[in-house]
């Protein structure tokens, strides 16, 4: 499993970019998971960015707070605790790639800073994954 993270200022296009990447990767036959980091209280309703990721084809989409996360599968959700962000990709199960939005302070994953061109990011993801 490969992981790519996207961090940047609010309203910089991260969610839009990730949703488009999910659509394109899924169209290529890849299994994609998504993680969204938030500093707000966790809400068990599938809405906002996690809903956008699920609609784009991610399975699952995870909303992660600090040390607690909600895993959304579209039809259900469940809460989990975690100690470090590097534990979150494993919660996506058997996927080819996990796209992470946020966790600016965590350096454990390949990182992209939006805004970026979707084609450029796809090419870079492919290059990283061939290593």
**Per the domain annotation, does 106 fall within a domain?**
yes
**Per the domain annotation, does 42 fall within a domain?**
yes
pLDDT recorded at residue 115:
61
Domain that holds residue 51: 2-84+94-130
**Per the domain annotation, does 23 fall within a domain?**
yes
Q: Which residues contact 44 (CB under 8 A, 6 or more apart)?
A: 70, 77, 79
- Give CA–CA dist 72/52, Å, rounded: 12
**Per the domain annotation, does 126 fall within a domain?**
yes
**Per the domain annotation, does 124 fall within a domain?**
yes
**Per the domain annotation, does 10 fall within a domain?**
yes
- Give CA–CA dist 35/64, Å, rounded: 7
Secondary structure element (H or E) that encloses residue 24, with its range: helix 14-27
> How many domains does the chain fold into?
1
**Per the domain annotation, does 89 fall within a domain?**
no
- Give CA–CA dist 11/1, Å, rounded: 28
Q: Tens-digit pLDDT profile for the chain (131 aa)?
A: 899 999 877 777 889 999 999 999 999 999 999 999 998 889 887 788 999 999 999 999 999 998 999 999 978 999 999 999 999 999 999 999 999 999 988 989 988 876 678 888 888 888 878 76
- Give CA–CA dist 71/42, Å, rounded: 11
Within 10 angstroms of residue 111's Cβ, the number of other Cβ atoms is 16
CATH number at residue 10: 3.40.50
- Give CA–CA dist 129/126, Å, rounded: 5
- Give CA–CA dist 115/21, Å, rounded: 13
**Per the domain annotation, does 26 fall within a domain?**
yes
């Amino acid at each position: 499993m490969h992981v790519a993270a996207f961090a940047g200022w609010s309203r910089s296009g991260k969610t839009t970019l990730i949703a488009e990447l999910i659509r394109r990767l899924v169209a290529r036959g890849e299994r994609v998971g998504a993680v969204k980091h938030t500093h707000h209280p966790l809400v068990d309703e599938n809405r906002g960015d996690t809903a956008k990721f699920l609609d784009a084809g991610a399975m699952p989409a995870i909303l992660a707070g600090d040390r607690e996360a909600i895993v959304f599968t579209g039809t259900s959700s469940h809460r989990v605790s975690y100690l470090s962000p590097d534990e979150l990709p494993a919660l996506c199960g058997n996927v080819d790639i996990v796209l992470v939005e946020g966790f600016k302070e965590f350096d454990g994953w390949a990182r992209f800073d939006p805004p970026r061109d979707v084609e450029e990011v796809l090419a870079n993801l492919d290059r990283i994954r061939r290593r």
